[in-house]
Amino acid sequence: MSPVPRYRLRRPILAVVSAALIASTLVAPHPAPASAAGDELRLVALSARPELVTANDVLVTAEVPRDKPLDGVRLKLNGADVTGSFRADASTHTLTGLVDRLGPGRNHLVATAGPLRDQLVLTNHPATGPVISGPHEQPYACTTDKFRLVDGSTLGAPLDPDCSVATRVDYAYRSTAGRTKPLPDPATRPADLATTTTITGETVPFLIRIETGTLNRSIYQIAMLHDPATDDPTYSQRSPGWNERLIYTFGGGCRRGWYTQGTDTGGVLDPQMLGRGYAVASASLNVFGNNCNDLLAAETMMMVKERFVERYGDPLFTIGWGSSGGSYQSHQIADNYPGLLDGIVVGRSFPDVASATNITLFDARLLEHYFTEVAPGAFSQEEQRQVAGFLRWQSIRNLSDGAKRLDPVAEFPDELPAELRYHPQTNPGGARADVYDHTANVYGRDPATGFARRPLDNVGVQYGLAALNSGAISTQQFLDLNEGIGGLDLDAVPTTARTSADPIARNAAYRTGRVLFGGAGLAGTPIIDYRSYSEDAANGDIHMMTHGFATRARLEAANGDADNQVFLVEDSRYGGFSLTSPTLRYALTSMEEWLTALVGDDSALPAHQKVVRTKPAELTDACWSRDAAPRKIVQRLTADNAGECGQLFPAYSTPRLVAGAPLPDDVVTCHRKAVAWSDYSVSFSPAERERMSRIFPSGVCDWTKPGVGQQPLRDTWPAVK
């Protein structure tokens, strides 16, 4: 991994923890403050990495040796004195200030204290982006005139082609009847205004300040408890209602998640979060239903958090919070961009979009096409289910429909004009509505077609292998299926040939973390994986337990164990991911306790060991019974469905796992081997053996080996230029 730059995205000292440097989730630790070393003057960027500053400003602290007077420090930006922008803190012997009016590109901030000198090179990027995600996607539909504020009004028309609006502040309040209402007159307190007591013991009126603006062509919002009768909160004057912690929410989805700014965020008005005193932030491009690209989501979150720190101060820690599509973002931002999130609470989770999810949807689409178009009636519903591995037969069609994200004509956002949409015959140069073209900055484009390269493959995959070996299907069915299943072309049209991954896209997916690695930032990140069980839904469901176990298997492979991940499972009575659930409220309380202990750990242990040893003793894998009054059942949850939890909430397979793929489900292109007849529990006739060689001319998948081109994340903070 790259050397750790001089920046810090956390407060170094807080009254409720020790004055030692807060523990890092980076693979390498943050540098210790110079004041602790005692003899160096040191500049540290608090709000952003020095090379990734945005919007013309950055919050910086100067750590000064104890024997040097603070009033003897001078700071200059590009030669101009900016010392007056810094505020002294005698308790930490630091100077902290917002350095603004940065010019485009490289800026030089120099601090001197007598003979001591230090310099930061600050590279400034525009507020509209891009920074790390590569060139902006075009076309792009602005939706500020459709984005609803707390009072029901909208942001109005954008100010420029980058969909910008003027930053604004609105107020709302929580009523004694348990409703969130707009506050039309901040000078007047409503008669039904509730109060709340935060986790730090402050009892305050339940008044909510909501900042709304645009960054990175995304609409962001930041909410926190604040009384408008008092001065606006700043990094140097905190709101009494803020508990000095931040929750960043990530929204779900993926389908239609391209070419649009979006009309919602991951949500910033949850009364449980705000009532406990958390600040809550999110942005429209952190909703995968608006933007199904984890790199662009990471960039957006990075910029919004920078804005938060510069305006309100460096939080003690930041919790990532998201379900389904929000879990992709939480996992991948924590692993690939360490320092942005300190702990994550995810629901209905997947490791990432590129591997387990897209592979499962792709296979479901192929199976549905085969069962309904190629060989209708050749397999009973139960035989089809056995081949797919799902609990419900209906999941085959359900997940096949989810494969529309692979289809460039299937689903466009409503805001994208029809004349801009791709069609292979009528508009071949139009915008393609699929997850690969939306991520073309990472995967690259095939010069022959102009379309995005795809990390998608099924060459050598023996569909229905476990069903064959169990006797659920015959050798004839197995051979017919694998001969006829085919693949999907670049327009998601079924083909007789299997689909081969583009090697450039496949290698980029591994190298840049689009396939979740698990051994970078996630190694030192507390993870609580909450699942509202839904595999038994009548029409099936994409949110399968096995995807959580895939993440756990990747953590174990990368780090030796997954002891920093905890599973909590219950039935779906509270919906997918709602803090109306006592279990999810317990998860938030436990994450708070875990991270508070972690930031207080000033040991020199590696990040993974720190996070494991600070985990609350009572926080373990558990499930809750399906009774009217659920009881907690403590046991380690495993993919083999052991114990009472395994009986209550069994994990089922996927088509690729039925075909023999390993649990991590992170192999895009398998290595192949010659057919070994000892691998089968059934006998093949000479004619059937000869037919197998024709069906698999290059051999069958050898799942004992890593995938072709499979490699760990090459470096944290990957960027596309």
For residues 172 and 571, what is the distance between their CA atoms, to the nearest angstrom? 33
The DSSP element (H or E) to which 446 belongs, if any, is none
CB-count burial class (<10 Å; 0-12, 13-18, 19+) for 125:
buried
Q: Could you say which residues of the chain have pLDDT below 50?
A: 1-5, 11-37
Contact 72, 144 (CB under 8 A): no
DSSP string spanning 119-176? Answer: EEEEEEE-TT--SSB-SPPSS-B--GGG-B-TTS-B--S-SSTT-----EEEEEEEBT
DSSP string spanning 316-360? Answer: S-EEEEEETHHHHHHHHHHHHSTTS-SEEEEES--S-IIIIIHHH
Q: What is the pTM of this model?
A: 0.94
Report the pLDDT value the prediction gives residue 613, as an integer from 0 to 100: 97
Report the pLDDT value the prediction gives residue 13, as an integer from 0 to 100: 26
Q: What are phi and psi of 107, to 5 degrees?
A: -130, 150
Distances (CA, A) of 452 to 436, 486, 494, 578: 6, 21, 18, 36
Query: Residue-wise over 589-628: b if at least 16 C-beta within 10 A, else e?
Result: ebbbbbbbbbbebeeeeebbebbbebbbeebebbbbeeee
CA proximity to 690, closest of 675, 702, 679: 675
Report the pLDDT value the prediction gives residue 23, as an integer from 0 to 100: 26
Report the pLDDT value the prediction gives residue 9, as an integer from 0 to 100: 61
Q: With H, G, I as helix, E, B as strand and everything else as coil, classify residue 716.
A: coil
Report the pLDDT value the prediction gives residue 27, as an integer from 0 to 100: 30
- Structural domains in the chain? 42-125 (2.60.40.10), 144-315 (no CATH), 355-424+439-512+667-701 (no CATH)
Report the pLDDT value the prediction gives residue 71, as an integer from 0 to 100: 95
Report the pLDDT value the prediction gives residue 6, as an integer from 0 to 100: 60
**Residues 6 or more apart in contact with residue 543 via CB below 8 angstroms:** 324, 348, 531, 534, 535, 576
Contact 216, 288 (CB under 8 A): no
CA proximity to 199, closest of 147, 247, 266, 150: 247
Report the pLDDT value the prediction gives residue 5, as an integer from 0 to 100: 46
DSSP string spanning 528-558? Answer: EEEEE--TT-TT--S--HHHHHHHHHHHHHH
Contact 671, 701 (CB under 8 A): yes
